[in-house]
Amino acid sequence: MFARVDANTMLFKQTLKANLVFLAWLQRSTKRFWMTFELPLHRFILLHAVFNSVSFLPCFFSLSSTTNSWALPPILPLISPAIKIGW
């Protein structure tokens, strides 16, 4: 019984350490990525492209889910045309 608890504890510690290393890497790479887009206009254009490319995903998830726990409200399809009109 104690060996199983120790194995689970070790697995938890290894997983936690791996997650922390990954998050640290993600933070560094994100900081480097945003430093290349120093102008606000470039950031806005980039976010506009991201919103445009994923605007259909919330509708897909809300229609395909069987329970409401994974359903996402279809907000992005409403935001994307508003950004287009603003341009």
Distance CA 5, CA 25 (A): 30
Pair 11, 3: CB distance under 8 Å: no
More confident residue, 54 or 50: 50
Average pLDDT over residues 20-31: 80
68: pLDDT confidence band, cut at 50, 70 and 90?
very low
Domain ranges of the chain: 1-36, 38-87
The pLDDT value given to residue 18: 85
Asked if residue 4 has pLDDT above 80, the reply is no
Asked if residue 19 has pLDDT above 60, the reply is yes
The pLDDT value given to residue 24: 82
Pair 46, 30: CB distance under 8 Å: no
